[in-house]
Amino acid sequence: MKLKHVSLSVMMMGATTVAMASGYHFGTQSVSAQSTANASAAEAANASTIFYNAAGMTKLEGTNFSGALNLVAPNAKYSDASATYPTLAVTPVNSTVKGSTSGKITDDLVVVPQLYMTHQLNDKVTVGLGIYVPFASSTEYQRDSVLRYNLNSTELTTIDINPTVAFKLNDQHSVAVGVLAQHAEATLRQYANFGYALAGGNLALPGSVAGNGAADGYADVEGDDWGFGYNLAWMWDINDNTRIGVNYRSEIEHTLEGSAKWTKPAAGYAALNAAGFKDSEGAKVDITTPEALSVHGMHKLNSKTNLFADVTWTKHSRFDKALLVYENAKTGQGNTTYLTPAWKDTYKLSLGGSYQYTEPLQLRAGIAYDKSPVPNDDRRLATLPDNDRIWLSFGGKYDLNKQSSIDFAYSYIKIKDAKANVNGTCVAQGQTTCVSSQTKGTANYKSSAQILGVQYNHRF
């Protein structure tokens, strides 16, 4: 039985370290759009318009292909970390969690592909298919990190398959509708502090704290899931120089069922099994990924210069809480891990432009401000130290011939320094019992990323 995990990925992932947009979005699905900091949704320059505004497919003649490759170099580090075990009704012993207090929590390089194709059926109707990565993350703390009891490692990959059809209503207006089929794969590792309970000779909480950190165990959870949604788009050519558009991508609901495998210390193996920490057990969680609404425009300043703008609103408040429910109840803890991030709805503002430097070469640039959904330090997850960010992008397009072109882009994303105050106690989640090691922790984060992208476009 596999865990279906857009769930856990969305719940507990470290997506901010690879995802370049706020929350847990990857952040760019096209190199031509990346070069303007994703401001050019109204441009409809190639087949990647399927993601940004599918109504733009009616601007493309014949059959069009776009294939993109993004190389992402994330850099997320934590420092000054500390954590404490729960204070019990006995004299605390070793109440401070021991271990690494700083380190890098991201891979050095992540490779992300995107593919698009459109085909003009007639003067009024164009069909298309997009295959792209909306979410991607990989975060791992050292196994001895002082924050290990909250979450030690997460990895997420999602792929959307997006068939879409666009209709040209008249010379000024076009609309589109599509289906979103989303597949997600994820893994996570979470440590458990079994030592204090085992040292007390009893698994009911509270127990002796003498063994804190002396007998750790951990759960590995992995799996996959399909979820479905839809996208809608509208594009309006106000005149020969100005165009505006609206793009909507729906929420996607997931009912996620999977498995958790527990690794336990040999000395307490039998007792922990009896307490509900089985070698393998079922796990489930419900999650809804957020809908997003984008309004964008394009203006031809002159024969060589285009200006772009985009404002995107995302209903991140759908990630208000999440419940990870285990198949077996744990003695004194119940069967549920609670997360209450209480995210807020957000917006992103992008501005960009292009300049036709020579006949084959177009230069492009953009800047964006992306607001984080995290309301405060107390709600920030240690595996998702998300914060407001600034995009700085530049690149270009080079026409190889009348049918083919290459887009290239470089982006630097600076994420505002963040602090996470992590509280794993049941009381902090509004509960009397919960599956948790009950630790509290804090850490500071510095994050940034660089993206290098190349995209090949061809019209058949």
Task: Tell me the CATH number at 237.
Answer: 2.40.160.60
Q: Cβ distance 301 to 307 under 8 Å?
A: yes
Inside any domain, residue 225: yes
Mean pLDDT of 129-144: 87
Lowest mean pLDDT among 81-90, 275-284, 391-400: 81-90
Q: Is 190 among the domain residues?
A: yes
Note whether 38 and 48 are within 8 A (CB).
no
- Is pLDDT at 175 greater than 80 in this prediction? yes
pLDDT number for residue 263: 93
pLDDT of residue 339: 83
Average pLDDT in the chain: 87
Cβ-proximal residues to 131 (8 Å cutoff; 6+ apart), any chain: 114, 115, 116, 159, 160, 161, 162
The Cα diameter of the chain in Å comes to 80
Q: Is residue 189 part of a domain?
A: yes
Peptide bond into 206 cis (omega under 30): yes
Share of the chain above pLDDT 70, in %: 91
Closest by CA to 290, choosing from 311, 313, 316, is: 316
Q: Is residue 337 part of a domain?
A: yes
CA angle 160, 448, 47 (to 5 degrees): 30
Give Cα 304 distance to the centre of its chain. 36
What is the Cα–Cα distance from 26 to 22, expressed in whole angstroms?
9
- The C-alpha atoms of residue 293 and residue 312 are separated, in whole angstroms, by 6
More confident residue, 138 or 301: 301
- Calpha distance 99→147 (Å, rounded): 9
Distance between CA 73 and CA 54 in Å, rounded?
Answer: 29
- Among 211-225, 294-308, 400-414, the minimum mean pLDDT is found in 211-225
Q: Which residues lie across from 181 on neighbouring strands?
A: 161, 228
Tell me the mean pLDDT in the region 204-208: 43
* 8 Å CB contact between 372 and 381: no
Q: What pLDDT is stored for residue 25 in this prediction?
A: 72
Per-residue pLDDT band at 319 (split at 50, 70, 90):
confident
Domain that holds residue 12: 6-459
pLDDT at 162 (0 to 100): 97
**CA-CA distances (angstroms) from residue 401 to 287, 307, 363, 406, 432?**
47, 25, 17, 10, 68
CA-to-CA distance for 115 and 120, rounded, in angstroms?
A: 17
Write down the pLDDT at residue 202: 45
pLDDT of residue 135: 74
The pLDDT, as a whole number, for residue 382 is 85
Q: What is the pLDDT of residue 438?
A: 87
Q: Which residue has the higher pLDDT, 46 or 438?
A: 46
Instruction: Give me the mean pLDDT over the 13-42 stretch.
Output: 76
Which one has a higher pLDDT value, 209 or 85?
Answer: 85
SS3 call for 32: helix
Q: What angle do CA 366, 25, 373 make, to 5 degrees?
A: 90
Identify whether 106 is part of a domain.
Answer: yes
Instruction: Say how many domains are in the chain.
Output: 1
Which percentage of the chain shows pLDDT scores above 90?
Answer: 60
pLDDT band of residue 200 (cuts 50, 70, 90) is low
pLDDT band at residue 210 under the 50/70/90 scheme: low
Q: What is the mean pLDDT of residues 430-436?
A: 88
User: Which pLDDT value is given to residue 222?
Assistant: 76
Mean pLDDT for 333-344 is 88
CB count, 10 Å around CB of 109? 10
Q: How many CA atoms lie within 13 A of 84 on its CB side?
A: 9
Q: What is the pTM of this model?
A: 0.88
Helix (H, G, I), strand (E, B) or coil at 323: strand
**Residue 92: what pLDDT?**
53
Q: Is residue 1 part of a domain?
A: no
